[in-house]
């Protein structure tokens, strides 16, 4: 009788990273948002939930299959987070010159905004991710405000 070999631990770990349960609706909605962004209608998407509920897992699964130019930045939970730390994390995945040498904060915001506005077909849209935004420094919150499309009915 053939013996079943135990699965090596490393493949179990790799396999578990790709198992995402009960997130079809959220993935479908996110894919719709990405299609809209590709058509020139980008948006700010807030993905909320308690720690451990699966926000990062959902996001990683989504971006691994998305036709998009993805850049991810992380907010750190320290008492003195570096201003715009998440944007610094993203820079290697953004075009050179997105943060021009010596630029003021508002010039950097404008540069990022025009990058997002000018990206258009046939190039895939950008997906910029700010992980753990509940820890965002004030400058990163300003960046999110500056790059968010206006809400309907508000200027
Ligand atoms: N939809 C899911 N299907 C399977 N496992 C999940 C799912 N969502 C989260 N997990 C597992 O739960 C754990 C915590 O998820 P994580 O994405 O880090 O949570 P969060 O970012 O919300 O704190 C991870 O080990 C992850 O593999
Ligand atoms: Mg997370």
- 91 is written with which tokens? 């820079």
Return d(Cα 56, Cα 59) in angstroms, integer: 5
Which residue, by CA, sits nearest to atom 14 of ligand 1? 52
23 lines ligand 1 (CB under 6 A): yes
- 13 is written with which tokens? 């770990």
Q: Give me the residue spans of the domains in the chain.
A: 9-147
CATH code at 9-147: 3.40.50
pLDDT of 146 above 90: yes
Between 7 and 100, name the one with better pLDDT: 100
Query: Residue 154 — very low, low, confident or very high, per pLDDT cuts 50/70/90?
Result: low
Give the chain's mean pLDDT.
Answer: 87
17 C-alpha to ligand 1 centroid (Å): 9
| Percentage of the chain modeled with pLDDT above 90 | 76
User: pLDDT (tens digit, 9 = 90+) per residue, 93-124?
Assistant: 999 999 999 999 999 999 999 999 887 678 89
- Cα angle: 101, vertex 107, 108; to 5 degrees: 65
In the chain, how long is the greatest CA-to-CA distance?
A: 73
Give the atom of ligand 1 at the shortest distance from the alpha carbon of 57.
Answer: 17
Task: Decide if 84 contacts 139 (C-beta within 8 A).
Answer: yes
How crowded is residue 25: how many other Cβ atoms within 10 Å of its Cβ? 8
117 C-alpha to ligand 1 centroid (Å): 32
Return d(Cα 61, Cα 57) in angstroms, integer: 6
User: pLDDT (tens digit, 9 = 90+) per residue, 54-83?
Assistant: 999 999 999 999 999 999 999 999 999 999
């Amino acid at each position: 009788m053939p013996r079943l070999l135990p699965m090596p631990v490393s493949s179990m770990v790799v396999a578990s990273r790709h198992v995402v349960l009960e997130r079809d609706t959220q993935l479908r909605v996110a894919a719709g948002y990405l299609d809209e962004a590709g058509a020139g209608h980008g948006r700010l998407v807030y993905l909320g939930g308690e720690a451990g509920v699966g926000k990062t897992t959902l996001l990683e699964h989504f971006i691994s299959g998305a036709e998009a130019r993805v850049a991810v930045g992380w907010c750190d939970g320290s008492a003195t987070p570096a201003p715009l730390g998440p944007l610094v994390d993203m820079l290697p995945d953004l075009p050179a010159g997105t943060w021009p040498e010596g630029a003021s904060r508002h010039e950097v915001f404008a540069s990022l905004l025009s990058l997002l506005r000018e990206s258009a077909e046939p190039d895939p849209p950008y997906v910029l991710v700010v992980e753990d935004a509940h820890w965002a420094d004030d400058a990163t919150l300003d960046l999110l405000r500056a790059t968010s499309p206006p809400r309907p009915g508000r200027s």
